[in-house]
A and B are shown apart, each in its own frame.
Chain A
Amino acid sequence: MLPDDPLANVLHIDLTGKAYWMEKRQDLFEACIGGAGVAIRLLNEECPAGCDALGRENPIILAIGPLTGLFPLASKTVAMFKSPHTGNLGESHCGGRSATAIRMAGCGAIVIKGASHFPIYLAIHDGKVYFRDASSLWGMESSFTVGRIIRENEPGAGIRTIMRIGRGGEQLVSYACVTAESYRHFGRLGLGAVFGSKKLKGVVISGRRSLPVSNKKEYRHLYEEVYRKAVESLVMRKYHDLGTAENVLVLNSMGGLPTRNLQEARFEEAAGISGEAFAEQFLGRRLACSHCPVACIHIAALREPYEDESYFYKTSMISYDYEPIYALGSMLGISDARGFLKLMDEVEKLGIDAISTGVILAWATEAMKRGIVSASEASGVKLNWGDHHGYMDAARLIVEQPNEFYRALARGVEYASSTYGGEDYALALGANEMPGYHTGPAAHAGVLIGARHSHLDNAGYSIDQKDTGARRPGAEELARNLLEEERWRQILSSLVVCFFARGIYGPETVSKALRLAGLDLATEDLRRIGKDIHRDKCRFKTREGFSLRELRIPRRILETETPLGQCSESAMREVLEHAERIIEKEEAEAH
């Protein structure tokens, strides 16, 4: 890498001793590029085997990549930690201004260790760390207000990121998220709870610097090529126009939209919560992550009257995307867009993962209907499909945790169903609540195999959607295809290129861009490094007790028909076995 590139700096922060230091780790970035690659190495170095995910020894790693600040769409920050939700690898990606801010602050990765005795937030400006007392922010009802107060107290307007947790993180809800710039998240595997366990309310980061490139003329040339593709190509149009919410009607028409806890895969009232409906009635603003011209972030403006005073209104700006619409919409039988937006807003204020929350509430609704959970256990809250009021009350109680039932819900559907029963319809894969794609066997097998049990790990849903029935891939081929995609995605998430731009950043383009950042890697080197990173993740998972063989496949996933027919358990297990064999074989070869 280029000798004066600040990317090689790893900023270590000790919350216990309120100390920090910078360490040069050129070796890490040269071997594994950045982002996910560097983060898994640092996690392996810093996270003791078998540690308590909510203990002070669990580190929080944040990493960005060499293209951040140089090229458009290299706009993600990768977080790694041990997940309090699954007890295994925690990995989460966030956009907003997080990546650019870390790059401009003069480092490539941040390692946060220890725990504070009192609430604090970190202010990192130009590589200097300030420990700020956050006692006045702790317990605050809305994470939006927390963001506003930090904003007013810190410098760096326009060039900073403000990451913060809500009450969910403080209360250690195992799927609490960290929110950045009001609308972007480190979602899924509970980074918010890890923040909360360290009494870390937020992290604000800013900086302003120049970055080296190896050839200025070529840099400008390649920049323009990538930029034009991003703004002009059809590849990105979906994300511009309706945004990811476009998927609602697409998945519904093919019969792959999980509805009412996946009792069905078509929602008869999907039109009410479609991308088209939101665009027509509510779309109030579009936003972009820093250094991304696409602006996929869609914000709805919801105008509501106050009931106690006439001619008095409030207008809330609420972000929507496909996944939250699935989880807090169709999965809960909610077709009223206003109801969905209110529930979404509540979940944002609480700072808990929208997908997990929706899937858990869907399970709780079915569990109540089947009589395994009583109304009194639910503190009198009635959960009925389509009724957002009950779901808003329940979401608040998940965070407050007044009794055993809500304490169980705060630990996820895998745990709740292991206590109360109803495993057959507890929709978690690898202990992580399922994403919104009931498209066929590849989608579910992909989430099971995926290192972070996310649909984004290897996009199995895309394999399903290309399946015309003409030639269906066998189990081994499917396992191979999923793993190959996942390994390539290790490169994208090490560059920290947004997955939405995967069509723009092919291997050739990546290789050219990296050369300008001082990393000379041919396309075959990239493939090798992708494999290495994936192997590092698998090693961490194995060390922490993960086994593909022991994964639970909820019966509901097998029973409810997909567009490709019913999934068979034996066929899915066969894919997992092949994946395991491939991973083991390559592990043996690596030694």
Chain B
Amino acid sequence: MRLAIADSERCVGCQSCMFACSRRQGEAGLAASCIGVRSIGGMERGFTVVVCRACDNPPCVAVCPTDALKRRKGRGIALDAARCIGCGHCRDACILGAVFWDDEINKPMICVHCGYCVQFCPHGVLEFVKRGTIGNATG
């Protein structure tokens, strides 16, 4: 299963998904969030949801110099924090902007496709789908 963006036009910008992601990791606030919602150049034009799309050949994994990032079976990327030196190459490699950064610990934050945020999307923007289903990377 993986997280996908069903329809970003329905997004109202409430950012409940961002806060949900932090709570799922036992945190409050936004430092740990692996999903982002921002306007497309002004709120009047709507929003884009930025999150890892679980690429088949993830560039973030390819550029990691310490093998701290690995593909997870079936869904997304796993970070081995003990191997991560916080170099930021993965962030630069992801053209979706889906590698978020926790400045408090200087490590990348990448979605693990748990689907928790979907429960807190009030308007059907996010969905949890079977792997292989076509979905938008960022919507």
Contact = CB atoms under 8 A, between A and B. Distances in A.
B120 A227 contact: yes
A317 interface: yes
Interface stretch (A203-211, A321-329, A353-361): A203-211
Contacts of B31: 208-210
Nearest to A285: B46
A69 B30 contact: yes
Interface in A187-245: 208-213, 216, 219-220, 223, 227, 231
Interface string B6-38: 000000111110010011001111111000111
A209 B36 contact: no
B29 A104 contact: yes
A290 interface: yes
A295 B30 contact: no
A182 interface: yes
B30 A209 contact: yes
Contacts of B42: 144, 147-148, 151, 182
B28 A70 contact: yes
Contact of B30 (A151, A159, A286): A159
Interface of A: 69-70, 72, 100, 103-104, 126, 144, 147-148, 151, 157-159, 181-183, 208-213, 216, 219-220, 223, 227, 231, 285-295, 297, 299, 317
Interface string B87-111: 0000000000000000110000000
10 contacts: A158-B50, A159-B38, A210-B32, A213-B28, A219-B23, A285-B44, A287-B13, A288-B12, A293-B14, A294-B122
A523 B32 CA distance: 33
Contact of A209 (B19, B45, B104, B122): B104
Contacts of A208: 29-31, 103
B29 A209 contact: yes
Contact of A317 (B19, B38, B44): B44
Contacts of A183: 43-44
B66 interface: no
B16 A291 contact: yes
A211 B43 contact: no
Interface residues of B, number: 31
A216 B29 contact: no
Nearest to B32: A210
A69 B29 contact: yes
B81 to A, nearest CB: 16
B72 interface: no
A213 B41 CA distance: 34
A431 B81 CA distance: 60
A287 B23 contact: no
Given A181-B43, A183-B43, A288 B26 contact: no
A159 B13 CA distance: 11
A339 B122 CA distance: 33
A317 B44 CA distance: 6
Contacts of B83: none
A497 to B, nearest CB: 15
Given A208-B103, A317-B44, A157 B28 contact: no
A100 B43 CA distance: 16
B44 A219 contact: no
Contact of A216 (B14, B16, B26, B37): B26
Nearest to B120: A227
B123 interface: yes
A159 B120 CA distance: 18
Contacts of B46: 285
A213 B28 CA distance: 7
Contacts of B38: 157-159
A319 to B, nearest CB: 9
Nearest to B103: A208
Contacts of B19: 69, 291
A174 to B, nearest CB: 28
A289 B12 CA distance: 9
Contacts of B120: 227, 293
Nearest to B97: A157
Nearest to B22: A210
A151 to B, nearest CB: 7
B39 to A, nearest CB: 7
Contact of A210 (B13, B15, B50, B104): B104
Given A210-B22, A212-B28, A158 B36 contact: yes
A557 B15 CA distance: 43
Given A157-B38, A288-B14, A292-B14, A299 B44 contact: yes
Contacts of B29: 69-70, 103-104, 208-211
B31 to A, nearest CB: 4
B32 A72 contact: no
Nearest to A293: B122
A158 B39 contact: yes
